Amino acid sequence: MKSETFPASPVSENGSAISARANVLGVGVHAINPEIAAGLIESAIDQGRKGYVCVTNVHSVMEAQNDHCFRDVLNHAFLVTPDGVPTVWIGKLQGHSSMARVYGPDLMLDLCRRSVSKGYSHFLYGGRPGVAEELSARLKEKFPGIRIAGSYTPPFRPLSSDEEEELRALVEELKPEIFWVGIGCPKQERMMAEYIKKLDTKIMIGVGAAFDIHTGRIKDAPDWIKTLGLQWFHRLLQEPRRLAERYLIKNPQFIYRVLLQFTGVRKYHLDNC
């Protein structure tokens, strides 16, 4: 049976549309929680559908402000999960009281745990040389019986035609249900939007730093720091040179734009959702 591509709104097990979204500066972030997110992905796989999932935080939203094509990539995703705590706060202020953070690395572990009994297989795409293989070993140790079908370490540039064909042939042979992408925003979202129809897989999920977090290359923040919405500061302390612009410039810009949105000074519309 040929897989079909998702509509913009995912559907639950009973077939009803999951359309509630928080409007975060024109990015439609689904008003969901971790349990609902994992359940929707499972249902999608079981129904033989195709789609990609964007775990979305302040950085993702700010990347979309001056790039309408990237905003469309986000708004055409099967799921846009509230990966950043500020996206949850905005959703709650807009009336989505049950909305909760869907943190990419946690979503990865939850789906890996669930997949053992469901029989889903996984493919790991991303990381520096050796990271995907180490992640595979750690996941197999943590979740006995998990099926890691394969992995691919891409270059830090777009794939050449030969590399694209190599990846396509590999995925066609392995046919993984879940294709994890860990190459960072906005590269991973663009990659998923381009390749979801080219690769023989069901669900592609961009999880950013999850590969490095689960292999210990990046230290995850304590839960209390995450709850306070200060995980960005914890990351900044670990990678100040790489992340200074993202957090020290983009975060204040985000706050300013949100104030404009909530005061009605500037209107943001959910186009193409």
Q: What is the pLDDT of residues 52-108, one digit of tens each?
A: 999 999 999 999 999 999 999 999 999 999 999 999 999 999 999 999 999 999 999
Q: Is the pLDDT of residue 112 over 70?
A: yes
- 127 and 164, same structural domain? yes
Nearest to 44 by CA among 75, 9, 82, 83: 9
- 14 and 45, same structural domain? yes
- 247 and 142, same structural domain? no
Question: Tens digit of pLDDT for each residue in 151-191?
Answer: 999 998 999 999 999 999 999 999 999 999 999 999 999 99
Q: Which range among 49-58, 88-97, 196-205, 220-229 shows the weakest confidence by mean pLDDT?
A: 220-229
C-alpha to C-alpha distance for 10 and 41, rounded to whole angstroms: 9
Q: What is the mean pLDDT of the chain?
A: 90
Residues in the chain, total: 273
What band does 1 get if pLDDT is binned at 50, 70 and 90? Answer: very low
- 44 and 125, same structural domain? yes
Q: Tokens representing 25?
A: 């500066």
How many domains are there within the chain? 2
Helix residue ranges per DSSP H, the chain = 34-46, 58-63, 68-75, 85-93, 104-118, 131-142, 161-174, 187-195, 210-214, 223-227, 231-238, 240-248, 250-263
The answer to the question of residue 67 being in a domain is yes
Q: What is the pLDDT of residue 18?
A: 59
* Number of other residues whose CB lies within 10 A of the CB of residue 165: 11
Q: What is the pLDDT of residue 7?
A: 46
Please state the separation of Cα 212 from the chain's center in Å. 15
Percent share of the chain, pLDDT over 70: 92
The answer to the question of residue 271 being in a domain is no
3-state secondary structure of 198: coil
- Convert 134-171 into a string of H (helix), E (strand) and C (coil): HHHHHHHHHCCCCEEEEEECCCCCCCCHHHHHHHHHHH
The answer to the question of residue 11 being in a domain is yes
- 69 and 99, same structural domain? yes
Q: What is the pLDDT of residue 273?
A: 56
Q: Is the pLDDT of residue 44 over 80?
A: yes
The answer to the question of residue 217 being in a domain is no
Q: What is the pLDDT of residue 8?
A: 46
The answer to the question of residue 273 being in a domain is no
Q: What is the pLDDT of residue 9?
A: 53
- 95 and 133, same structural domain? yes
- 229 and 138, same structural domain? no
What band does 130 get if pLDDT is binned at 50, 70 and 90? Answer: very high
The answer to the question of residue 229 being in a domain is yes
Residue 125 belongs to what domain range?
A: 4-153+160-212
- 90 and 183, same structural domain? yes
What band does 113 get if pLDDT is binned at 50, 70 and 90? Answer: very high
The answer to the question of residue 270 being in a domain is no
- 144 and 35, same structural domain? yes
Q: Is the pLDDT of residue 216 over 50?
A: yes
The last residue of one of the domains, among 190, 212, 234, is: 212
First-residue to last-residue Cα distance in the chain: 28
- 243 and 130, same structural domain? no
- 76 and 97, same structural domain? yes
Q: Is the pLDDT of residue 230 over 60?
A: yes
The answer to the question of residue 32 being in a domain is yes
- 199 and 98, same structural domain? yes
Contact partners, residue 196, CB within 8 Å, separation at least 6: 5, 50, 51, 52, 204
Contact partners, residue 152, CB within 8 Å, separation at least 6: 123, 124, 125, 132, 167, 170
27-30 and 21-24 as β-strands: parallel, antiparallel, unpaired? Answer: antiparallel
Q: Is the pLDDT of residue 15 over 70?
A: no
